[in-house]
């Protein structure tokens, strides 16, 4: 099911399946699309956020680096500085805002953008003002460009949103750290070390795709040890995630998966006919199983898939109940299949 193009009743079916597996809050990511389609998708899905079915919308673009599109539609990437881009962002913010309610009611919770682009500062200002977190990602930024963007944010915070708050503050998160950005080089460090330093200071959170294919499991564990409270494990899922072999859509682009052939590498969705990774290979319950199988202690793994990512949501959308899994304490693994008990929000102890 492709959030960007599916009718609302298919979205509801997919959410029911995720909730059955123990996922309690879902942020729908919309990829870079032709501007009218993106606006239409926000208009279609925002009511699901207002009614509480979705926890929010994340727009992955369209203000991305043309050099780091990855699986995002390069044709639909826009320069943030143009009048057309300004009008589009204003319309998106408007489409995500309900008739009643403050910035906390905005359906869009985050937008991925490349902070080195000309006009990025305007995007950041507009997003913060609307209660939307700017998420650096799909970026070709140098370390200096990335750090400059973080400094710019300092003057743009609104109450409860921005840098340097308490541990439960709503902070921006880097969109899938390591993927779709320059890697670390000792003479050209790129955004990764700057992001990790900011995360260690408590000024930023970092998303990781923990499917065993996007980032080496040892690197995931290193990041969890370095900045344990800042890691948001995300599925980066698409219609092709956990799906049978076939061709699917990710908004405007065709992607494919070879399904579960027993060779884990073949299971990652890729751009059709190309080697480019296109989305996560497992949904969030699968990511938790991976973390535990790699030996990540339960007390690091569980917050990274639950309470830490929840902190990127407005506080009114964080209470998510509690899920008890059939887990094998001796082997540190959880049993496949649905959780043993899903305790609804508001129940004693949640």
Ligand X SMILES: CC(=O)N[C@@H]1[C@@H](O)[C@H](O)[C@@H](COP(=O)(O)O)O[C@@H]1O
Tell me which residues touch ligand X (CB under 6 A). Answer: 31, 60, 70-72, 176, 179-180, 214, 236, 276-279
User: Shortest approach of ligand X to residue 181 CB, angstroms?
Assistant: 7
Backbone angles phi and psi of 192, in degrees to 5 = -60, -50
Nearer to ligand X, 11 or 334 (CB): 11
Cα separation of 197 and 182, whole Å?
16
Measured N-to-C along each axis, helices 284-293 and 298-305 cross at an angle, to the nearest 10 degrees, of 160
User: Shortest approach of ligand X to residue 180 CB, angstroms?
Assistant: 5
Nearer to ligand X, 97 or 290 (CB): 290
Strand partners, 11: none
Nearer to ligand X, 73 or 323 (CB): 73
Closest residue by beta carbon to ligand X: 70
Rounded to 5, what percent of the chain is helix, strand, coil? Answer: 35, 15, 45
Contact 250, 2 (CB under 8 A): yes
User: Shortest approach of ligand X to residue 28 CB, angstroms?
Assistant: 12
Strand order in the sheet with 246-250: 246-250, 253-257, 270-271
Strand partners, 253: 250
Nearer to ligand X, 49 or 69 (CB): 69
User: Shortest approach of ligand X to residue 247 CB, angstroms?
Assistant: 16
User: Shortest approach of ligand X to residue 271 CB, angstroms?
Assistant: 8
**CA angle (191 as vertex; 188, 193 as ends), nearest 5:** 85
Nearer to ligand X, 71 or 227 (CB): 71
């Amino acid at each position: 099911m492709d959030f960007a193009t599916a009718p609302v009743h298919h979205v509801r079916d997919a959410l029911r399946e995720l909730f059955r597996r123990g996922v309690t809050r879902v942020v729908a990511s919309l990829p870079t699309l032709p501007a009218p389609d993106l606006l239409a998708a926000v208009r279609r899905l925002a009511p699901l956020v207002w009614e509480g079915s979705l926890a929010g919308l994340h727009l992955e673009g369209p203000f991305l680096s043309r050099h780091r599109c990855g699986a995002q539609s390069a044709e639909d990437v826009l320069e943030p500085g143009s009048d057309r881009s300004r009008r589009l962002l204003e319309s998106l913010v408007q489409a995500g805002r309900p008739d009643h309610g403050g910035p906390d009611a905005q359906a869009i919770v985050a937008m991925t953008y490349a902070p080195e682009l000309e006009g990025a500062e305007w995007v950041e200002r507009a997003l913060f003002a609307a209660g939307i977190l700017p998420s650096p990602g799909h970026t070709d930024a140098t370390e200096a460009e990335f750090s400059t963007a973080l400094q710019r944010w300092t003057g743009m915070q609104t109450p409860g949103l921005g840098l340097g708050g308490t541990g439960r503050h709503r902070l921006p998160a880097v969109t899938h750290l390591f993927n779709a950005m320059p890697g670390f080089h000792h003479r050209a460090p790129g955004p990764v070390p700057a992001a990790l330093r900011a995360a260690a200071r408590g000024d930023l959170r970092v998303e990781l795709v923990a499917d065993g294919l996007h980032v080496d499991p040892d690197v995931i564990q290193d990041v969890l040890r370095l900045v344990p409270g800042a890691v948001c494990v995300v599925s980066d899922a698409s219609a092709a995630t956990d799906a049978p072999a076939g061709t699917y859509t990710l908004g405007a682009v065709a992607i494919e998966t070879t399904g579960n052939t027993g060779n884990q590498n073949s299971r990652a969705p890729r751009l059709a006919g190309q080697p480019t990774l296109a989305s996560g290979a497992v949904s969030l319950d699968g990511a938790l199983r991976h973390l535990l199988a790699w030996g990540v202690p339960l007390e690091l793994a569980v917050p990274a898939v639950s309470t830490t990512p929840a902190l990127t949501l407005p506080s009114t959308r964080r209470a998510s109940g509690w899920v008890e899994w059939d887990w094998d304490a001796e082997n540190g693994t959880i049993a496949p299949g649905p959780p043993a008990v899903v305790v609804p929000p508001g129940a004693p102890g949640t």
